[in-house]
């Protein structure tokens, strides 16, 4: 079973028991063949600004805090973390606990609930993972050994090296040196796993992975918002051979030859709408629309497409009303109650079933809602422009549904490939498992016990 005491990501999932967890823990549960649970990721931090985050505890909104304030709050969350730990490990043969960041952040060690603080409280052995792709992995591991307290150092049972490219034997002396300096044994060297790119990603660092080159029938532009959320919505489109997905970074222009622009979800709709304009993307989008281009907005992106977004209670920061992009005749009002659920839906334009999930604040109304994009659990959702070229929805994961994705791309003049997206994820997980079994000392890892 998977467990991560504390995660920081705006790429969240709805667990099978109906709360928010990190996308990685949802995927790990899938790999285990187990129902996902809020207890697999009891504390989830969703960044809303450069300094502050929304705090999700056991799947529900607990509060908000700036970074410095959160350091003082962590001790109050330890009971929830340990309660969830007891629930996850009850009846499990093995629980793999994922840390967060580095165990050597000694400036944050006091009150730690994510790394060594949790390991000591729960009395679990630790395997240190070094990322060789970043460089300096020998110094990183040896340096970690040097600065850890004796108590923390005692919890580490060994280490493994991740993301190695090339001939692994060339690192034999490196492994020997690390063990000589630290006394820790190596559990193996993991090569660069290409199949990992076929899996939903945990955080926005992977957005550096752009799809480029080749003759594609359709170019899709996705502006990378500062607080972009649930960006794995685009993974099935990236997998389509006839589609090029371009993740447009701050300071770049939306490509003029894009046939479709998708505005993604956001953890801070008003703030990201302001940055959207600062990047000049509003002007690019206007030109795109005049050229006859299509626009899709998902969740926060849907809200941005309307005439106004209002936050009377200051949920995202200040109490204010801002002008939207104006491509849909709708208005959104932020409300405290958050919608979190897995859903079954029906696409009205294509008369097709699909499934996905909702994670959002806000209520959207307006004349264009008389042309909903879909019915979710029998209730109309989203809006479509009069000419049908702009639509928005609160539902994430709609492109995961193969039949809907094929019909949608066909409406844009593209023939979709016969891809079974979910089967592809399962196949990637199986391939990764086989590779790990071949390169890691599995018996030694499984033999690890409480210290």
Overall residue count recorded for the chain in this entry = 451
Catalytic annotation on 145? no
Active-site hit among 39, 294, 299, 360: 299
Those residues whose C-beta lies under 8 Å from the C-beta of residue 424, and which sit 6 or more positions away, are: 198, 239
Strands 331-333 and 320-323: unpaired
Please state, in angstroms and rounded to a whole number, the distance separating the CA atoms of residues 16 and 13: 9
Number of other CB atoms surrounding residue 361 within 10 Å: 22
- Annotated active-site residue in 39, 288, 294, 396: 396
Q: Cβ contacts of residue 86 below 8 Å, gap of 6+?
A: none
What gap in Å lies between CA 288 and CA 350, rounded to an integer? 24
Q: Where would I find the beta strands (DSSP E) of 218-312?
A: 218-223, 228-229, 243-248, 260-263, 265-266, 294-298, 308-311
Please state whether beta strands 12-14 and 20-22 pair in parallel, antiparallel, or not at all (unpaired): antiparallel
Buried b (16+ CB within 10 A) or exposed e, 183-203: ebebbbbbbebebeebbbbbb
Structure tokens at 388: 């049908």
To the query of whether residue 396 is one of the catalytic residues in this protein, the response is yes
C-beta atoms surrounding 44 within 10 Å: 28
Report the distance separating Cα 324 and Cα 322, nearest Å. 6
269: its two tokens: 């709709």
For the chain, report the end-to-end CA distance as a whole number of angstroms.
20
Q: How far apart are CA 401 and CA 368, in angstroms?
A: 25
Ramachandran assignment for 136, one of left (phi > 0), alpha (psi -120 to 50 degrees), beta (any other) = left
Q: Which residues are catalytic?
A: 299, 396
């Amino acid at each position: 079973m998977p467990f991560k005491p504390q995660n920081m990501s705006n790429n969240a999932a709805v667990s099978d028991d109906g709360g928010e967890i990190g996308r990685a823990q949802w995927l790990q549960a899938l790999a285990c063949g187990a129902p996902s649970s809020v207890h697999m990721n009891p504390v989830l931090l969703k960044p809303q600004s450069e300094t502050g985050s929304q705090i999700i505890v056991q799947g529900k909104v607990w509060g908000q805090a700036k970074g410095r304030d959160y350091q003082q709050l962590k001790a109050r969350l330890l009971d929830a973390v340990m309660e969830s730990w007891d629930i996850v490990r009850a009846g499990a043969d093995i629980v793999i606990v994922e840390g967060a960041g580095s165990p050597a952040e000694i400036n944050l060690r006091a009150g730690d609930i994510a790394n060594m603080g949790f390991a000591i409280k729960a009395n679990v052995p630790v395997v240190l993972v070094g990322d060789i792709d970043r460089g300096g992995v020998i110094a990183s591991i040896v340096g970690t050994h040097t600065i850890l307290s004796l108590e923390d150092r005692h919890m580490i049972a060994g280490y493994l090296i991740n993301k190695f490219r090339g001939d692994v034997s060339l690192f034999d002396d490196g492994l020997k040196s690390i063990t000589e300096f630290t006394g820790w044994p190596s559990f193996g060297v993991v090569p660069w796993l290409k199949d990992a790119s076929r899996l939903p990603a945990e955080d926005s660092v992977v957005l550096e992975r752009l799809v480029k080159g080749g003759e594609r029938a359709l170019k899709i532009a996705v502006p990378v918002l500062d607080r972009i959320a649930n960006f794995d919505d685009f993974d099935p489109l990236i997998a389509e051979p006839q589609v090029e997905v371009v993740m447009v970074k701050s300071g770049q222009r939306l490509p003029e030859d894009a046939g479709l622009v998708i505005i993604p979800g956001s953890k801070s709709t008003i703030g990201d709408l302001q940055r959207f304009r600062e990047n000049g993307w509003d002007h690019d989008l206007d030109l795109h629309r005049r050229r006859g281009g299509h626009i899709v907005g998902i969740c926060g992106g849907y809200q941005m497409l309307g005439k106004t977004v209002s936050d009377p209670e200051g949920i995202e920061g200040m109490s204010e009303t801002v002008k939207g992009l104006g491509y849909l005749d709708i208005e959104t009002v932020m409300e405290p109650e958050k919608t979190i659920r897995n859903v079954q839906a029906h696409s009205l334009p294509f008369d097709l079933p699909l499934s996905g999930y909702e994670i959002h604040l806000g209520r959207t109304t307006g004349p264009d809602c008389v042309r909903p994009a879909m019915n979710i659990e029998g209730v109309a959702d989203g809006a479509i422009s009069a000419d049908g070229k702009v639509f928005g929805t609160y539902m994430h994961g709609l492109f995961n549904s193969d039949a809907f994705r094929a019909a949608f791309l066909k409406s844009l003049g593209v023939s979709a490939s016969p891809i079974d997206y979910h089967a592809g994820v399962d196949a990637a997980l199986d391939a990764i498992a086989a590779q790990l079994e071949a390169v890691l000392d599995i018996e030694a890892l499984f033999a690890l016990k409480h210290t």
